[in-house]
Chain A
Amino acid sequence: MTPKEQTELIDALLDGDISEADFLRIEAELSVDADVRKAYYNRMKLDLLLEKEAAEPSVDLATQSPNRPDPKLRSSRVTRAVGIFIVLAATIVGVVFLTTPDTDRDKPTGVTKNEIEPTAIGFALLGGQSDAVWEGQQMGTGSLVPSGELHLKSGLAHLELFSGVQMVIQGDAVFSIDSAMEVSLKRGRVSAHVPDAAHGFRVKTSHGDVVDLGTEFALKVTEESSRVEVVTGEVELHLQGSNTHRMFEGETLELSNAGKTAIAQVEKLSLISPDAFKRELALRQSDHFKRWQSHAESLRHDNRLVAYYRVDSKQPLSRQLTNLADSDGAKAGNGAIVACERTKNRWGHADGALDFSRMGSRVRVNVQGEYRGVTLLCWVKINSLDRQFNSLFLTDGHELQEPHWQIMDDGRLFFSVKKYDKKTKSTRTRNKHNFYSPVFWDSSLSGKWLMLATVYDVDAKQVTHYVNGEAIGIESVPDDYLVETVRIGSASIANWSEPMYRTDPEFVVRNLNGSIDEFALFAGALSSEEIAEHFRIGNPN
């Protein structure tokens, strides 16, 4: 192959415009010849750089004139930092849109449309909150903070900007995060801790801008004025016009449309610093954990509880999962842990959850008895849904009257109870009815703890799927598919055993790529209030 042919084939390859025969030719060359690979890498880089140039031509090329400094930006260092963080934030955030699964793929009918919205775009994460009430949709801790104007009506919120800036905002506050380096504050109180890497971080108010030079500061903005208090370090005020003014540790100034006034000996803004806020949240969480523990303790005596497994962080080596259900209804034995590794639970306690991502991982259980309906509930952290079926709780094989509970690769919950076998099926096309929830999971939820629950209510003849205590889908059970007594027998948590009638590995490998720290099985149907309550008390955030 001549060098010319080579570059032509590489170009065709990179243009995505290559025949199969040519693809095989260039692949063969690439496989054996390091120089061809080098040429391939370099051509690739050239492509990439040309794309970059086309998107944002370098100044001297586009205008054929020397660099004109942008008057809005004060130093190239800041420009670069802002640019980088915006790019980074955009790449991190962009994914949310790009990976929203196509929801129209064989969507089941008869399901209420109440899908959980995918997280919106932003430059920051909500690191924690305390009694926070947001206007509009409430934000979950750990979620991306959307762009645009936000209104924290009351309470405190801790924001972690991608630039490393930590902020505590106290409601009532109206603000927007314009980039990882710039926040506009219309009204409210803010304290900010700015690390070295984010010098130049700016808070804009209608009375002037506060530019941080590496410090901690607090700010209170009302319609009439903005008060700035430097806790440590130094900030620069950019007032109306081109006035700037430096402020140092301990100084407090009030800005208004009339200008700036020094304020001496007034009471401090007394806004909690981001660090102190985090410590407080950790303390609260431990209170919260204790409350949940006592709730879980009383739950043990609930007569409907058949099986209740919680991973005990104090026994990291135990391969047994004790059935904590202490009721007359408890007919399940202890679980046997297979292959799983220990990981942090949703409270952040080491060894408090089981990670099922290793192939073959599962918890084996045996549940005797027959139940008029069931409620399945678990706390789960999903890394990704990379199997066609991702197990939550499946009986071995799939015998008559047995339930299967799993998640489809497109992010829908799946529940079924087998009604017919081959002998009884003859006039019907299906042996069971599959109850799908709407899509609830996409990769923006990866790594987040969720509470999933599904209720099979025989009396109401309906199946309800819940995510984080809220019903996301209700479907009636068709009369000829209603199974009045559910049986379980041998089953696995987060995997499937004894796949008797399928042998293709794609279908058979079903372990959940994720972790579980709590699993409960109830006889009969829990009410939506009970599920919501279980979430409220068990939610660490």
Chain B
Amino acid sequence: MADANHKNDDSQIVGLLTEYQMPLVVYVRSLMPGDPSANDVVQQANARIWEKRSEFRLGSNFRAWSFAIARFEVLNHRKRQARDARLTFSEDLEQTISSELASLEDDVLSRHEALRQCLGSLKAKSRQLLMQRYGSTESLAEFATRRGRSVGGLKVSLNRLRTSLAECIERKLLVEESR
């Protein structure tokens, strides 16, 4: 019966949307790096995907389909923001990013696991700094001022911490892979 199918489809779309939420966020952010409105655009894309759900053929590539919608939302957003235009990547680079992220294996979950372990091995003070920075919506400059630090010094600290976390994560992923 058509009704039952429809119901079924909706719950499957909910499942897919949930499953691909992180890749979608990564994708949108990669097109608008450092732009705080990226989250809004993701929301917008989610809503649009939900509205268009009847157009999605179950069994086809949800990631590619949802990315195409998200890309459109990014462009739309830029159009609205045209007055205070941010720097944007070239069309070619955006195309490359789109096709790479649509085909790359999604490893966010295993990265999350690894990050948790790696965070545990950081010094408490470093961990605290990271959590405060990432839990705050202030600009880097505001955040630095509040903590009585120079922006340059803070940048260096954060860069180092990220790099050591990144190295730790890569090591853990490698170990996991070779297991």
Question: Given contacts A45-B26, A278-B3, A384-B76, is CB(A17)–CB(B43) below 8 Å?
Answer: no
Question: Which partner residue on chain B sits nearest A24 by CB separation?
Answer: B87
Residues of B within 8 A of A43 (CB): 162, 166
- Are B130 and A27 within 8 A (Cβ)? no
A99–B47 Cα distance when bound, in Å, is 11
- Separation in Å of the A224 CB from the closest CB of chain B? 35
Query: Which of A47, A88, A164, A443 touches B17 (beta carbons < 8 Å)?
Result: A88
A120 at the interface (CB under 8 A from B): no
A447 at the interface (CB under 8 A from B): yes
Query: Which of B90, B140, B163 touches A27 (beta carbons < 8 Å)?
Result: B90
Question: Given contacts A16-B33, A95-B44, is CB(A88)–CB(B14) below 8 Å?
Answer: yes
A539–B76 Cα distance when bound, in Å, is 31
Question: Which partner residue on chain A sits nearest B87 by CB separation?
Answer: A23
Residues of B within 8 A of A85 (CB): 14
B42 at the interface (CB under 8 A from A): yes
Query: Which of A20, A52, A88 touches B87 (beta carbons < 8 Å)?
Result: A20
A53–B130 Cα distance when bound, in Å, is 10
Query: Which of A48, A60, A96 touches B29 (beta carbons < 8 Å)?
Result: A48
A393 at the interface (CB under 8 A from B): no
Residues of A within 8 A of B40 (CB): 98-99
0/1 per residue, A8-30, Cβ < 8 Å to B? 10011111111010010001001
A333 at the interface (CB under 8 A from B): no
- Are A37 and B100 within 8 A (Cβ)? yes
A8–B14 Cα distance when bound, in Å, is 38
A50–B169 Cα distance when bound, in Å, is 12
Query: Which of B11, B48, B133 touches A164 (beta carbons < 8 Å)?
Result: B11
Mostly helix, strand, loop or mixed at chain B's interface?
helix
A98–B97 Cα distance when bound, in Å, is 26
- Are B43 and A94 within 8 A (Cβ)? yes
Size of chain A's interface in residues, with CB distance under 8 A?
65
**Which residue among A43, A49, A58, A162 has the maximum number of chain B CB atoms within 10 Å of its CB?**
A49
Residues of B within 8 A of A61 (CB): 116, 119-120
0/1 per residue, A148-176, Cβ < 8 Å to B? 00000000000010111010000000000
- Are B47 and A443 within 8 A (Cβ)? yes
A442–B96 Cα distance when bound, in Å, is 32
Question: Given contacts A50-B134, A57-B131, is CB(A91)–CB(B42) below 8 Å?
Answer: yes
A7 at the interface (CB under 8 A from B): yes
Question: Given contacts A41-B101, A91-B42, A95-B44, is CB(A27)–CB(B108) below 8 Å?
Answer: no
- Separation in Å of the A93 CB from the closest CB of chain B? 8
Question: Which partner residue on chain B sits nearest A160 by CB separation?
Answer: B10
A316 at the interface (CB under 8 A from B): no
Taking CB atoms and an 8 Å cut-off, the chain A residues in 45-70 that contact chain B are 45-55, 57-58, 60-61
A54–B131 Cα distance when bound, in Å, is 5
A283 at the interface (CB under 8 A from B): no
Size of chain B's interface in residues, with CB distance under 8 A?
65
A459–B133 Cα distance when bound, in Å, is 65
Question: Which partner residue on chain A sits nearest B166 by CB separation?
Answer: A46
A375–B104 Cα distance when bound, in Å, is 55
Question: Given contacts A31-B96, A50-B134, A446-B51, is CB(A95)–CB(B43) below 8 Å?
Answer: yes
- Are A195 and B115 within 8 A (Cβ)? no
Query: Which of B33, B50, B112, B158 touches A13 (beta carbons < 8 Å)?
Result: B33
Residues of B within 8 A of A37 (CB): 96-97, 100
- Separation in Å of the B87 CB from the closest CB of chain A? 5
A88–B46 Cα distance when bound, in Å, is 9
- Are A54 and B51 within 8 A (Cβ)? no
B25 at the interface (CB under 8 A from A): yes
- Are B33 and A55 within 8 A (Cβ)? no
- Are A11 and B15 within 8 A (Cβ)? no
A263 at the interface (CB under 8 A from B): no
- Are B93 and A27 within 8 A (Cβ)? yes
A359 at the interface (CB under 8 A from B): no
A73–B72 Cα distance when bound, in Å, is 40
B172 at the interface (CB under 8 A from A): no
0/1 per residue, B2-18, Cβ < 8 Å to A? 01100100110011011
0/1 per residue, B133-152, Cβ < 8 Å to A? 11100011000000000000
Residues of B within 8 A of A18 (CB): 34, 87
Residues of B within 8 A of A443 (CB): 44, 47-48
A12–B58 Cα distance when bound, in Å, is 40
Question: Given contacts A88-B17, A91-B42, A446-B51, is CB(A41)–CB(B130) below 8 Å?
Answer: no
Question: Given contacts A11-B155, A13-B34, A53-B116, is CB(A45)–CB(B108) below 8 Å?
Answer: yes
- Are A164 and B131 within 8 A (Cβ)? no
Question: Given contacts A27-B90, A53-B134, A386-B76, is CB(A99)–CB(B44) below 8 Å?
Answer: yes
A116 at the interface (CB under 8 A from B): no
A39–B44 Cα distance when bound, in Å, is 27
**Which residue among A11, A16, A23 has the maximum number of chain B CB atoms within 10 Å of its CB?**
A16
- Are A30 and B10 within 8 A (Cβ)? no
Residues of A within 8 A of B87 (CB): 18, 20, 23
- Are B131 and A31 within 8 A (Cβ)? no
Residues of A within 8 A of B30 (CB): 40-41, 44
11 residue pairs from A and B, CB less than 8 Å apart = A16-B36, A23-B87, A41-B26, A41-B30, A41-B100, A50-B165, A53-B115, A92-B47, A95-B47, A195-B11, A446-B47
Beyond A27-B89, A91-B43, 4 extra complex contacts between A and B, CB < 8 Å: A49-B112, A92-B47, A96-B47, A197-B11
What are the 9 tightest A-B residue pairs by CB atom distance, in nearest-first order? A16-B34, A54-B135, A54-B134, A95-B47, A164-B11, A95-B43, A50-B134, A91-B46, A13-B33
